Amino acid sequence: MQYPHDTLKQDGNFIIYELPEEEIFQIVYQEMHKIVDDEIINEMDGPERGFSTRLTFGPDWYDVKVKIVPVEGPDGTGRMVRGYFVELGGKGTYPTNRPEQISKNILGRLNETKTAVRVTSFKKVDYSRDRDRWKLNVAPSAREPSKPPSSRSVYDDLRELKKLSDEGIITQEEYEQKRKILLQKIE
């Protein structure tokens, strides 16, 4: 049993959703989570991003993959539009209607955003954010290295500020304002 579906082709048209990347990832994750109960939802990372899960019932299984695809194309007026479409696929031995439910829920939520744009053609483009930058969870991804603390001090900033003032890059008034802010950090 296989289930391919995407939100791109609707009523003979190409429809993309002009949403911020973070928002479309959140919508897809939330709608998947509503349907798959307690199954684990995994992040798909790499050239194609999205989510996947495995539904099981005894010896039967069904893998669901939901890809979020960044594209751009001209609308009817020729304006270039950047947006996303969602592609859902799956296969397995477990007879289930959950992929259809996931697809309907995602399409419903996307249409609620009122950001659907009909484009005459499209091409795939790069994601706008580095991977994991939409962060559905509050905690950073375990795959991200932690950033070392900044080694600059307020005193370094004050010296740099004075140098900018002495070289005439900033006005005396700007210097005094910034200096006051930096000195408050010391107190």
Strand partners, 124: 71
Domain limits for position 165: 154-186
Q: Are residues 28 and 70 in the same domain?
A: yes
- Point out the domain boundary residue: 81, 109, 124: 124
Same domain for 172 and 92:
no
Asked if residue 21 lies in contact with residue 129, where contact means CB atoms within 8 angstroms, the answer is yes
Choose one of 76, 109, 124: the last residue of a domain. 124
> What pLDDT is attached to residue 97?
85
The confidence score (pLDDT) of residue 48 equals 86
Question: Would you say the pTM of this structure is higher than 0.75?
Answer: no
Q: Do 116 and 161 sit in the same domain of this protein?
A: no
Task: For residue range 104-159, list pLDDT tens digits in order.
Answer: 999 999 999 999 999 989 999 998 876 554 455 444 444 444 444 455 677 788 88
Contact 52, 59 (CB under 8 A): no
Strands (E), 12-138: 13-17, 42-44, 49-57, 60-74, 80-92, 116-119, 123-124
In a domain, 138, yes or no: no
Token digits of residue 82: 């950047």
Name the residue type at position 183. Answer: L
How far, in Å, CA of 175 to CA of 165, rounded? Answer: 6
- Residue 1 has a pLDDT of 39
163 inside domain = yes
Q: What is the pLDDT of residue 134?
A: 47
Count the domains in the chain: 2
CB 10 within 8 A of CB 22: no
pLDDT, mean of residues 93-108: 88
Helices of type H across the chain:
21-35, 98-112, 154-166, 172-186
- Give residue-wise pLDDT tens across range 29-74: 999 989 887 788 998 888 889 999 998 888 999 899 999 999 999 9
110-114, 139-143, 168-172, 177-181: segment of lowest average pLDDT: 139-143
Strand partners, 6: 87
1 membership: H or E segment, kind and range: none
